[in-house]
Amino acid sequence: MKLLEVDNLTIAFEEGRERQIVVEHAGFSMEKGEILGVVGESGSGKSMVAHCLMGLYKKNEKVIDGRILFDGQSLLAMPREERRRIQGNTMSIVFQEPMTSLNPVKKVGFQVEESLSIHRKELGKQEKKELALQALRDVELPGAEEIYESYPHELSGGMRQRVMIASAIVCRPKLLIADEATTALDVTIQAQIIRLLKKLNASTGMSVLFISHNLRVIQEICSRAIVMWQGKVVEQGTVEEIFRHPKEDYTRRLIAAIPTRKKRRNP
């Protein structure tokens, strides 16, 4: 069953009378429980799509065409207050750099509980704390109670990213958007975060929209992927199809750019 359907999505930057299209007629869908990859170089429009799904618009950004259905509901047709009930609740996002997303003067526990304070107002203080601690355990952070009382600067980069994931899943969303969530991490921690997202997907049924410029990471975590270039979806299919039989020249060039261990011989 379809969880997300994006059809003919077109997004523009507008300054006065000038308009620049940054995403043009993008369309894709994802099933419930699926891990779908979105891959493309910087500036391809993949993060713009993610922000549009979450309703995170800047003043000069505007959706000028298209439709987004999330769990059967039209996001673009929703009143703002109804859309806010979805943000961070049934749909949440994890960004690339946790230090710019976490508040340095607030303890981890307060920040993990923030979504609960907004969307689960019926919960008492102790109930919110228990759910926050469980979310920290779910992302495999050792010593959840100690981390709950810590400040972001007291944690490593990998631990901070796990805190961000805990904050995103504490309300048990149907869809988690991971926007370059492993890019700022070293390869060892990156592999751990990928394993964690796959485990959360398998154990909770939570769908994951995984955005990355790294095709190898997409290949490791996703079952299907879409390829974006210059604001357009140029190719989509199973990861195996895209790697083995790429249809577009851009996709072939992306694959060719992946570093390998083979030594190149001088001509």
The parent domain of residue 144 ranges over 98-172
How would you write 148-209 as a 3-class SS string? HCCCHHHCCHHHHHHHHHHHHHCCCCCEEEEECCCCCCCHHHHHHHHHHHHHHHHHHCCEEE
Q: What is the mean pLDDT of residues 78-98?
A: 90
Cβ neighbors of 133 (< 8 A, separation 6 or more) are: 109, 144, 145, 148
Q: What is the mean pLDDT of residues 228-235?
A: 95
**Does a structural domain hold residue 141?**
yes
Give the span between the Cα atoms of 225 and 35, in whole angstroms. Answer: 9
- Confirm if 37 and 251 have CB atoms less than 8 A apart: no
One-letter amino acid of 122: E
Give the span between the Cα atoms of 237 and 217, in whole angstroms. Answer: 16
* Residue of 12 and 59 predicted with greater confidence: 12
Picking from 242, 246, 238, 245, the residue whose alpha carbon sits closest to that of residue 222 is: 238
pTM of this prediction?
0.92
> Confidence band (pLDDT; 50, 70, 90) for 1?
confident
pLDDT score, position 265:
52
Give the span between the Cα atoms of 124 and 168, in whole angstroms. Answer: 20
**Does a structural domain hold residue 155?**
yes
Picking from 6, 41, 45, the residue whose alpha carbon sits closest to that of residue 251 is: 41
- Confirm if 61 and 23 have CB atoms less than 8 A apart: no
61: which strand partners?
Answer: 13
pLDDT score, position 198:
95
pLDDT score, position 259:
76
Backbone angles phi, psi at 245, to 5 degrees: -135, 65
**pLDDT mean across residues, the chain:** 92
Structure confidence by residue, pLDDT tens digits, 202-212: 999 999 999 99
- Confirm if 180 and 125 have CB atoms less than 8 A apart: no
Q: What percent of the chain has pLDDT over 70?
A: 97
**Does a structural domain hold residue 110?**
yes
**Does a structural domain hold residue 109?**
yes
> Confidence band (pLDDT; 50, 70, 90) for 267?
very low
pLDDT score, position 257:
84
Dmax (CA) of the chain: 70
Q: What is the mean pLDDT of residues 107-112?
A: 96
* Residue of 66 and 263 predicted with greater confidence: 66
> Confidence band (pLDDT; 50, 70, 90) for 13?
very high
**Does a structural domain hold residue 189?**
no
- Is the pLDDT at 189 greater than 90? The verdict is no
- Confirm if 174 and 3 have CB atoms less than 8 A apart: yes
Give the span between the Cα atoms of 60 and 214, in whole angstroms. Answer: 29
pLDDT score, position 262:
63
Structure confidence by residue, pLDDT tens digits, 156-175: 988 999 999 999 999 999 99
Q: In what order do the strands lie in the sheet with 91-94?
A: 91-94, 175-179, 207-212, 35-39, 224-229, 232-238
**Does a structural domain hold residue 132?**
yes
Q: In what order do the strands lie in the sheet with 73-74?
A: 18-31, 2-15, 61-70, 73-74
- Confirm if 215 and 250 have CB atoms less than 8 A apart: no
Q: What is the mean pLDDT of residues 5-24?
A: 93
- Is the pLDDT at 129 greater than 80? The verdict is yes
Q: What is the mean pLDDT of residues 86-110?
A: 90
Domain count, the chain: 1
Helix 157-169 vs helix 125-138: crossing angle, to nearest 10: 130
